[in-house]
């Protein structure tokens, strides 16, 4: 079991019973970067989640909703290297961002859709969940 799965199991998040209809290949063609393996494992095994991890509220969208939500919020239009994957219930989205060196990070950003507003909240999907688990404050 991967570390992020241990965290999600601890907080009783339910596993998905069917595979996502959207393929990773379809999504990666739209976003023009490869999704991280830990996020792919999450998307295959969980149909989103909503609740608290540590003291932070998190809503991660079902993988089948991700592309539509990014289109609706015009994230692709304004931030081509960013894929929103959820939110925190306070007007901010959680996203995977590809940096200039092709590395990825997880960011929290207001729905103002400005790259300058991104705050790094993980250097991987697993790291993001571990920071939540360890009660890391977003705005220290």
How far is 137 from 140, CA to CA, in rounded Å? 6
Write down the domain spans for the chain: 3-133
> pLDDT for 74-130, tens place per residue?
999 899 899 999 999 888 999 999 999 999 999 999 876 666 778 888 999 999 999
Torsion-angle region of 70 (φ positive above 0: left; ψ -120 to 50: alpha; else: beta): alpha
The single-letter DSSP state of residue 48 is -
How far is 10 from 34, CA to CA, in rounded Å? 28
Superfamily of domain 3-133: SMI1/KNR4-like (3.40.1580.10)
Instruction: Note the pTM of the prediction, 2 decimals.
Output: 0.84
> pLDDT for 31-53, tens place per residue?
999 999 999 999 999 999 999 99
Element holding 59 (H helix, E strand):
strand 56-60
């Amino acid at each position: 079991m991967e570390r992020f799965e241990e965290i999600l199991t601890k907080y009783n998040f339910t596993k998905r019973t069917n595979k996502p209809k959207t393929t990773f290949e379809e999504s990666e063609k739209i976003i023009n970067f490869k999704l991280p393996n830990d996020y792919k494992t999450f998307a295959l095994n969980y149909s989103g989640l909503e609740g608290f991890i540590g003291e932070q509220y998190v809503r991660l969208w079902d993988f089948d909703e991700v592309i539509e939500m990014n289109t609706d919020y015009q994230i692709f239009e304004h931030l081509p290297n960013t894929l929103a994957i959820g939110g925190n219930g306070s007007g901010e989205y959680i996203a995977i961002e590809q940096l200039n060196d092709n590395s990825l990070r997880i960011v929290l950003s207001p729905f103002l859709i400005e790259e300058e507003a991104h705050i790094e909240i993980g250097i991987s999907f697993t790291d993001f969940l571990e920071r939540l688990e360890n009660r890391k404050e977003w705005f220290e």
